[in-house]
């Protein structure tokens, strides 16, 4: 669960009247600890954290809303102390004590650091190369093909996931820029400022990113190379693929969804699907969004330019001048204006404005439900045998303790040479009896003291095993 006792009201500091100030304090502290200017060898003490928060409070505005603490702070230092205590209380920061100097330091908690990193990325102060993931996917797959290290395949899988996320981010940013442009135009009607902001965004932010995405990092350009690399991986020898499969299952057990399926094939199929979705769905969506954004910006700027060019036309003064004339003179002037405006103007449609919509072929999905037959007797017998084998070779802590209690009898001390073996369960317990000295059994009230002795050689069941003297110090069940 996320909302445990330490995080029961985790998001409470980001609500209320001081939410923007708290967010700015978190962003500035994150920059102080994890940016390029951070001093990674030093943990921030209370006074240093208060200095960072006081600087952040000078930047952030105070929003309207309910006052949580019921009063006003006398200065930024007092408010910074309140914010620090609030963040520690709700799990954003931790309070660690230095054993040498007995001074408290305040690092981020793991959850607090992850959410603060998101706040810092939304703020847009960092630099992120969002157009490199297609090439990173290809490079990681090529490295996996050459060296056979499964970490390269996992990196390729992660980079391919970010390709879709990057397309989604830039499409959302275009939509947001379009809404901001319309909002600014409606609010202030300033042609120069609106157009300058539009062209600044297109020149400094959008054009460099999209130019690389459409050319050097185009998914259409690298899709065939990635597909060819995947096919070469699939044509590798069986021994090579078996080793990769075993290594993947060992390093990433969460990826094992079906024990009968192949994790290697699952990752390669996922990369193929993501590249197909990026080329056939996300890239056309980006182009449509770009066309809509530039078309909307062009319409707005043309409209504002027209209004700006007409701002010196004194319509009110002209109407006042006409009203002062006699009827004949006013009618004559209006007639002349009507004749000047009555000329026929023929305009042709710009062929560049007519564009065919890109259609995507719909994928057919088989949704029929297959009727499963009852398993045959051979399958049921195999399952029963598998369950019996699993039970036969399984042992638990309570069984180990019962085995040792029976072997000890009324005594409290025994040599593992004297432990009885009457059946297969006793043999398993004998091979695991050393586990009774672990901290888990000690925490449950079973304390066993173990002293090593000479090795045991030439037994019936073991060629060689270590010798121990087992002494029961405490047992809650006796």
Q: Report which of 74, 77, 90 is spatially closest to residue 19, judged by C-alpha positions.
A: 90
Q: Is residue 68 pLDDT above 60, yes or no? A: no
Percent of the chain having pLDDT more than 90?
A: 0
What pLDDT score was predicted for residue 219?
74
Would you tell me the crossing angle of helices 263-277 and 238-251 to the nearest 10 degrees?
A: 90
Residue 244 to residue 266: CA distance in whole angstroms: 13
Degrees to nearest 5, angle at CA 173 with 169 and 177: 175
Is the pLDDT at 41 greater than 60? The verdict is no
Under DSSP, is residue 441 helix (H, G, I), strand (E, B) or coil? helix
Q: What is the DSSP string of 247-277?
A: HHHHH-GGG-S-TTS-HHHHHHHHHHHHHHH
Q: What is the pLDDT of residues 99-144, one digit of tens each?
A: 666 678 888 888 888 888 888 877 655 545 555 788 888 888 999 9
pLDDT digits (tens, 9 = 90+) for 135-173: 888 888 999 988 888 889 888 888 888 887 777 877 777
Per-residue b/e over 42-54, b at no fewer than 16 CB within 10 Å?
ebbeeeebbebbb
pLDDT band at 216 (very low <50, low <70, confident <90, very high): very low
Q: What is the pLDDT of residues 247-298, one digit of tens each?
A: 888 888 888 877 778 888 888 888 888 888 888 888 788 778 777 777 777 7
Q: Is the pLDDT of residue 383 over 80?
A: yes
Query: 107 and 52 in contact (C-beta within 8 Å)?
Result: no
* Contacts of 397 by beta carbon, 8 Å cutoff, 6+ apart: 435, 436, 440, 441, 444
H or E element, residue 447: strand 446-457
Q: Token digits for 119?
A: 């706040």
Asked whether the beta carbons of 449 and 471 are under 8 A apart, the reply is yes
Q: Compute the residue count for the chain.
A: 478
Q: Would you give the DSSP letter of residue 104?
A: E
Residue 21, burial from CB neighbour count under 10 angstroms (0-12, 13-18, 19+):
buried
Contact of 193 with 177, CB cutoff 8 Å: no
Pairing between β-strand 446-457 and β-strand 96-97 as defined by DSSP bridges:
unpaired
Q: What is the pLDDT of residue 372?
A: 67
- The CA distance from 467 to 455, in Å, is 5
User: Among all chains, which residue has been given the structure tokens 């075993």?
Assistant: 246
For residue 212, pLDDT beyond 70? no
32 vs 218, which has greater pLDDT?
32
Q: Per residue, what are the HEC states of 111-132?
A: HHHHHHHHHHHHHCCCCCCCCC
Give CA angle at 303 (299, 305), nearest 5°. Answer: 115
Buried b (16+ CB within 10 A) or exposed e, 188-200: eeebeebbeebee
The token pair at 136 is 């990173």
Integer Rg of the chain from CA = 37
Residue 346 — very low, low, confident or very high, per pLDDT cuts 50/70/90? low
Rounded to whole angstroms, what are the CA distances from 172 to 31, 177, 184, 189?
25, 9, 18, 25
Q: Please check the confidence at residue 63 and state whether its pLDDT lies above 60.
A: yes
How far apart CA 417 and CA 369 sit, in angstroms, is 60
Interatomic CA distance for residues 213 and 219, integer angstroms: 8
Cβ count within 10 A of residue 413? 11
What pLDDT does residue 345 have?
67
- In percent, the amount of the chain with pLDDT more than 70 equals 77
The pLDDT assigned to 70 comes to 46
Residue pair 152/143 in contact (Cβ under 8 Å)? The answer is yes
Residues 134/217, Cβ–Cβ less than 8 Å:
yes
Beta strand extents in 332-424 (DSSP E only): 413-415
At 100 the three-state DSSP class reads: coil
**pTM of the full predicted structure?**
0.46
| Number of neighbouring beta carbons within 10 Å of residue 178 | 19
**Rounded distance, CA 311 to CA 397, Å?**
89
- CA dist., res. 269 & res. 247, Å (int): 18
Query: What DSSP string describes 161-194?
Result: HHHHHHHHHHHHHHHHHHHHHHHHHHHH--HHHH
State yes or no: pLDDT of 206 exceeds 80.
Answer: no
- Tens-place pLDDT, residues 454-468: 888 878 878 888 888
């Amino acid at each position: 669960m996320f909302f445990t006792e330490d995080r029961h009201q985790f998001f409470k500091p980001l609500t209320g009247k001081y939410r923007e100030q708290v967010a700015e304090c978190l962003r500035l502290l994150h920059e102080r600890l994890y940016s390029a200017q951070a001093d990674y060898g030093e943990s921030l003490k209370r006074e240093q954290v208060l200095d960072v928060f006081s600087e952040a409070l000078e930047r952030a505005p105070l929003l309207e809303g309910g006052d949580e603490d019921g009063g006003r702070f006398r200065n930024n230092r007092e408010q910074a102390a309140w914010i620090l205590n609030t963040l520690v209380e709700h799990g954003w920061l931790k309070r660690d004590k230095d054993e040498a100097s007995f001074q408290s330091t305040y690092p981020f908690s793991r959850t607090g650091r992850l959410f603060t990193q998101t706040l810092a990325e939304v703020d847009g102060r960092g630099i992120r190369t969002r157009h490199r993931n297609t090439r990173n996917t290809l490079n990681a797959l090529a490295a996996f093909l050459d060296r056979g290290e499964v970490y390269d395949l996992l990196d390729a899988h992660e980079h391919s996931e970010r390709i879709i996320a990057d397309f989604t981010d830039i499409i959302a940013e275009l939509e947001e820029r379009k809404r901001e442009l319309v909002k600014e135009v409606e609010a202030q009607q300033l042609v120069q400022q609106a157009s300058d902001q539009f062209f600044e965004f297109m020149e400094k932010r959008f054009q460099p990113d999209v130019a690389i995405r459409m050319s050097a990092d185009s998914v259409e350009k690298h899709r065939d190379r990635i597909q060819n690399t995947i096919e070469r991986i699939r044509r590798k020898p069986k021994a090579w693929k078996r080793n990769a499969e075993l290594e993947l299952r060992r390093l990433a057990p969460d990826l094992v969804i079906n024990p009968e399926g192949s994790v290697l094939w699952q990752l390669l199929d996922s990369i193929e699907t993501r590249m197909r979705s990026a080329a056939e769905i996300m890239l056309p969506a980006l182009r449509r969004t770009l066309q809509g954004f530039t078309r909307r910006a062009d319409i707005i700027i043309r409209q504002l330019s027209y209004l700006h060019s007409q701002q010196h036309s004194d319509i009110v003064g002209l109407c006042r001048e006409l009203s002062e004339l006699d009827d004949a003179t006013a009618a004559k002037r209006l007639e002349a204006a009507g004749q000047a405006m009555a000329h026929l103007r023929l305009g042709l449609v710009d062929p560049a404005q007519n564009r065919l919509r890109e259609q995507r072929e719909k994928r057919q999905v088989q949704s029929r439900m297959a009727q499963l037959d009852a398993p045959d007797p051979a399958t049921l017998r195999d399952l029963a045998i598998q369950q019996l084998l699993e039970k036969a070779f399984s042992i638990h802590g309570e069984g180990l303790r019962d085995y040792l209690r029976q072997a000890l009898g009324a005594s409290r001390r025994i040599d593992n040479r004297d432990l009885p073996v009457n059946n297969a369960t006793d043999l398993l317990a004998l091979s695991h009896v050393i586990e009774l000295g672990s901290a888990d059994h000690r925490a449950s009230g079973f304390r066993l003291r173990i002293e090593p002795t000479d090795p045991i050689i030439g037994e019936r069941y073991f060629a060689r095993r270590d010798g121990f003297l087992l002494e029961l110090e405490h047992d809650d069940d006796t």
